[in-house]
Chains A and B, each alone.
Chain A
Amino acid sequence: MEITASYINSLAPNIAAIKAAKDLSKKAKFSNSFQSLDLSCIFSDCLGSSGTYFTSVDFIDALNPIFRCNCPSRQFPCKHGLGLLYLFEEVKRFPVKEIPLEIIEKRKKIENKNNKIIEVKNNFTKKDNLKKINLKKDTVKENKKIQKQIEGVELAEKILFSILSKGLKSIDAQSRRLISQQAQRLGDYYINGIQNKFQNFLLLFNINNFTEDFEEIIISMLELNQLVKQAKKYLNTKILNENPLRDINSDIEEQIGHIWKLEELKQYSLVKDKSKLLQLNFLTYSDYSKSEFVDEGIWIDVENGEIFKTKVYRPFRAINYVKSDDTVFELVQVSDLAIYPGKGNRRIRWLKADKYDPINNFDFITKFANNNFEEFLNKFKDDIKNPINENKRVGIFNNIKLFQDLNNNRYLKDTKGLILRLEDFSWYGTTTTDYLRFISDKEMEGLIVCLLISYNHSMNIFMAKPLSIVYPNKILRLQF
């Protein structure tokens, strides 16, 4: 595998690590650097702040190199491993030496572990029928959990109704503290999703405090009320079933607070074999109600054109220890693609990509693009009627024209003449409409645009934010 600077950058947890690693390689902190004969491993000593560390990068799995280092850093991969890669990228070759025993032993351990996983997988696929899964022993446990959830939802409803009866205007600092304390108790009832919605609602109060547009508070209230209402109905129906199965036609489980595990998604046949995906947009934003960063990628399945999203959650407190997601320019091949239940752009996840292929031809996207806004919006309208469904959806549109009015509002027109107003949603990253000024007139004709569409409740119109523009030979990203 070719090791390039951009490849090493993509492995780094953050830009500080890149800088520190480059410094290490520049300042000649590495000594006794070697590579194995088959180039599957490079290893070296590195002079660090508390002694000399032995660091190695193992390419036994070429796509997922294993970094090993005996330094005390909790960051993974540490700067020493990355520094060694930068050094290797610069000198291209180290003297050849046998792989140390220590590494061989660790390789064996991994091999044994992988064998076990394959064995379990094979056993599992033999009985790969949902009905055959032994759910009985979990049923009692699950029913207890649902009962607890119902109690939690009823408590949430009480809190909500007490707010409603007194009115939003009555919420002062003291009552906000009280509601926050009550909302914290909801965490004991396995309904973290509802708890987060409460926190988000209170957060909006702190930010807006009725001085600005309070539309957001109203929407948040509607969302919370509907979620409590639907959760109550859903859980009461679920508990009546002998084998309480999760609803996979909507994301109600996730909204209540369930965290889907990959194995569980497999059980519900929500894992797709062999997919090819291309990233159209990437963004990191903060979710203050959950105190975490969210890395969100927008992807298109190159076989059927469905648009998905990936989400990596990084709590503020663990920011240095959780690897962030990043922009991917290559075509990604995945053998097990887990698709989360839900509507619109469903969430996807995979453990390990099989292949990253460079791509230069993006013509295929045209055939998946919508030719007008109407059809897309009708479906979207139908979903967001229910306030718990996300008021944002990404779509690709073909043959789009850009125009403007005298008030400098910019619009997009489709082939039918229908229009969407452009807007930089401040809740979704940096400005992108301003970048349209830099696109030449030639490139403007018959645009293929990837748009994020959202309904503006106060203006009663749909608005769009351009995320990227698709050309035959490149994708121009307006965000990241």
Chain B
Amino acid sequence: MIENLLKEIKKELIRILFAGSVLAKNDFKLKELLNELEKIKENTALQKLHQYISLLITIDQTEENLMNALTLCNAILIIQSTIDPNITNIENTFDGITNKIDIGPLESKYQAKQLVPLINSLTERRTGRYNVAKLILDNKYYDDYRIKINVVYCLDDSYRDISTLMFDIISRYDYKILPLLKDTLIDKSTNGNIYRIQLISKIGGEQENNYMENITDNFKSTELILESIKALAKNQSGKKVISSKYLNHKNKKVKEIVDELLKESKPFGFLTKFFKK
């Protein structure tokens, strides 16, 4: 109850701070709050606050009183703040955290002087970043987890040369990056997401067929579906999946690409067109 009253008082004092302390005299809202404070002024701090506010609404030169009251009100709120979960009403919690990703042992062995320009080149959107980002390719800073994570995020960079560079870096050092690639893949037709599917297919190979199948079944973006079908077509078991599942896909574009891929994959497939004629 005291906390709510103090918050109300603080809010009103801030309003006066914005409006100007000259308007504090006879402020009716403060008078009301003062009456409530009167009932519960149980310790010296609250009594002092009562005194400051009384002065604030009665005398003319009130700048000092306004700041004294606000400072004191703030101080009482700080002291009363609690970290007890029973009081703070935090509900529906569970141990651990969601979206956990295993990208192998985390190493932080590079110094700020080396890392800061690189991370800035990956996270900022200014020009002149390409040459700095290229250092990751040259100097193998990629084994530091802070670089690794930002490289994956940077696949979405609107500067195409940089996102292509990130693609090259990840293809070169594949490590345990697959879970992060999957985690950051969303159903949106962007170059970054297309790169992600290509990388997952390249790094995971045949083992990622189920994942590709999942994209084809559940994603709405035609470009991503096409990319995942292309990824499936890279291995025999994937081709089987394509021929059994997607030959009569409802999306016209998908159907066309499936036809094309299957033709290419059949021995003497190029003759099919000729025989049809």
Is A9 touching B100 in the complex (CB atoms < 8 A)? Answer: no
Q: Does A114 contact B (CB under 8 A)?
A: no
Residue of B nearest to A15 (CB): B117
Q: How far is the CA of A387 from the CA of B117 in the complex (A)?
A: 35
Is A167 touching B109 in the complex (CB atoms < 8 A)? Answer: no
Distance in angstroms from A161 CB to nearest chain B CB is 4
Is A284 touching B112 in the complex (CB atoms < 8 A)? Answer: yes
Q: Which of A62-70, A172-180, A303-311, A410-418 is found at the contact surface with chain B?
A: A410-418
Distance in angstroms from A302 CB to nearest chain B CB is 20
Given A167-B17, A405-B91, A327-B74 contact (CB < 8 Å): no
Q: How far is the CA of A351 from the CA of B16 in the complex (A)?
A: 49
Is B111 touching A480 in the complex (CB atoms < 8 A)? Answer: yes
Residue numbers in B under 8 Å from A206 (CB-CB): none
Given A9-B113, A327-B112, A381-B78, A419-B100 contact (CB < 8 Å): no
Distance in angstroms from A423 CB to nearest chain B CB is 13
Q: How far is the CA of A345 from the CA of B3 in the complex (A)?
A: 30
Chain B proximity mask over A397-437: 1 for CB below 8 Å, otherwise 0: 00001111110101101000111100000000010000111
Residue numbers in B under 8 Å from A284 (CB-CB): 112, 116
Residue numbers in B under 8 Å from A168 (CB-CB): 17-18
Q: Does B57 contact A (CB under 8 A)?
A: no
Q: Does A477 contact B (CB under 8 A)?
A: yes
Is B109 touching A418 in the complex (CB atoms < 8 A)? Answer: no
Residue numbers in A under 8 Å from B102 (CB-CB): 438, 440
Chain A proximity mask over B82-110: 1 for CB below 8 Å, otherwise 0: 01110010111111111111110010111
Given A167-B20, A460-B77, A403-B97 contact (CB < 8 Å): yes
Q: Does A248 contact B (CB under 8 A)?
A: no
Residue numbers in A under 8 Å from B70 (CB-CB): 218, 222
Residue of B nearest to A414 (CB): B83
Distance in angstroms from A291 CB to nearest chain B CB is 19
Q: Does B81 contact A (CB under 8 A)?
A: yes
Is A480 touching B83 in the complex (CB atoms < 8 A)? Answer: no
Residue numbers in A under 8 Å from B91 (CB-CB): 405
Given A385-B75, A420-B83, A460-B81, A164-B17 contact (CB < 8 Å): yes
Q: Does A258 contact B (CB under 8 A)?
A: no
Is A324 touching B113 in the complex (CB atoms < 8 A)? Answer: yes
Is A326 touching B103 in the complex (CB atoms < 8 A)? Answer: no
Given A14-B113, A403-B96, A460-B7, A419-B83 contact (CB < 8 Å): yes
Q: Does B67 contact A (CB under 8 A)?
A: yes
Interchain Cβ contacts under 8 Å between A and B, 21 examples? A9-B113, A15-B135, A18-B113, A164-B20, A168-B17, A226-B67, A326-B113, A373-B83, A377-B83, A385-B78, A405-B91, A406-B93, A418-B84, A419-B85, A435-B149, A437-B97, A438-B102, A461-B88, A462-B81, A475-B108, A480-B115
Interface size on B, residues (CB 8 A): 59
Q: How far is the CA of A26 from the CA of B196 in the complex (A)?
A: 36
Is A15 touching B103 in the complex (CB atoms < 8 A)? Answer: no
Chain A proximity mask over B22-47: 1 for CB below 8 Å, otherwise 0: 11000000000000000000000000
Q: What are the 3 closest A-B residue pairs judged by CB atoms, nearest first?
A: A167-B20, A480-B112, A385-B75
Residue of B nearest to A171 (CB): B18
Is A225 touching B71 in the complex (CB atoms < 8 A)? Answer: yes
Given A326-B113, A327-B112, A477-B108, A387-B71 contact (CB < 8 Å): yes
Residue numbers in B under 8 Å from A6 (CB-CB): 111
Q: Does B242 contact A (CB under 8 A)?
A: no
Given A225-B67, A326-B113, A405-B18 contact (CB < 8 Å): no
Q: How far is the CA of A413 from the CA of B83 in the complex (A)?
A: 10
Distance in angstroms from A217 CB to nearest chain B CB is 9
Distance in angstroms from A360 CB to nearest chain B CB is 13
Q: Does B154 contact A (CB under 8 A)?
A: no
Q: Does A12 contact B (CB under 8 A)?
A: yes
Residue numbers in B under 8 Å from A460 (CB-CB): 3, 7, 77, 81
Q: Does B63 contact A (CB under 8 A)?
A: yes
Q: Does A268 contact B (CB under 8 A)?
A: no
Given A164-B66, A419-B85, A462-B81, A438-B97 contact (CB < 8 Å): no
Q: How far is the CA of A441 from the CA of B135 in the complex (A)?
A: 33
Is A405 touching B90 in the complex (CB atoms < 8 A)? Answer: yes
Is A411 touching B90 in the complex (CB atoms < 8 A)? Answer: yes
Q: Does B21 contact A (CB under 8 A)?
A: yes
Given A329-B109, A419-B83, A461-B88, A441-B20 contact (CB < 8 Å): no
Residue of B nearest to A224 (CB): B67
Q: Does A261 contact B (CB under 8 A)?
A: no
Which of B106, B119, B135 touches A438 (beta carbons < 8 Å)? B106
Distance in angstroms from A461 CB to nearest chain B CB is 6
Distance in angstroms from A308 CB to nearest chain B CB is 18
Given A418-B85, A438-B103, A455-B81, A15-B17 contact (CB < 8 Å): no
Residue of A nearest to B109 (CB): A329
Residue numbers in B under 8 Å from A401 (CB-CB): 95
Which of B22, B95, B106 touches A439 (beta carbons < 8 Å)? B106
Is B71 touching A435 in the complex (CB atoms < 8 A)? Answer: no
Q: Does B146 contact A (CB under 8 A)?
A: yes
Residue numbers in A under 8 Å from B108 (CB-CB): 475-478
Is A480 touching B116 in the complex (CB atoms < 8 A)? Answer: yes
Residue numbers in A under 8 Å from B74 (CB-CB): 222, 387, 457
Q: Does A165 contact B (CB under 8 A)?
A: yes
Distance in angstroms from A137 CB to nearest chain B CB is 39
Q: Does B19 contact A (CB under 8 A)?
A: yes
Residue numbers in A under 8 Å from B16 (CB-CB): 167
Q: How far is the CA of A385 from the CA of B99 in the complex (A)?
A: 38
Chain A proximity mask over B172-193: 1 for CB below 8 Å, otherwise 0: 0000000000000000000000
Is A15 touching B20 in the complex (CB atoms < 8 A)? Answer: no
Q: How far is the CA of A444 from the CA of B97 in the complex (A)?
A: 10
Q: How far is the CA of A437 from the CA of B95 in the complex (A)?
A: 13
Q: Does A282 contact B (CB under 8 A)?
A: yes
Residue numbers in A under 8 Å from B18 (CB-CB): 167-169
Residue of A nearest to B86 (CB): A417
Q: Does B114 contact A (CB under 8 A)?
A: yes
Residue numbers in A under 8 Å from B149 (CB-CB): 435, 438
Q: How far is the CA of A79 from the CA of B113 in the complex (A)?
A: 16
Is B81 touching A461 in the complex (CB atoms < 8 A)? Answer: yes
Residue numbers in A under 8 Å from B63 (CB-CB): 160-161, 164-165
Given A161-B63, A222-B74, A435-B149, A404-B111 contact (CB < 8 Å): no
Chain B proximity mask over A167-193: 1 for CB below 8 Å, otherwise 0: 111100000000000000000000000
Q: Does A166 contact B (CB under 8 A)?
A: yes
Residue of B nearest to A401 (CB): B95
Which of B20, B83, B113 touches A166 (beta carbons < 8 Å)? B20
Is B83 touching A9 in the complex (CB atoms < 8 A)? Answer: no
Which of B64, B88, B98 touches A404 (beta carbons < 8 Å)? B98
Is A437 touching B109 in the complex (CB atoms < 8 A)? Answer: no
Is B112 touching A438 in the complex (CB atoms < 8 A)? Answer: no
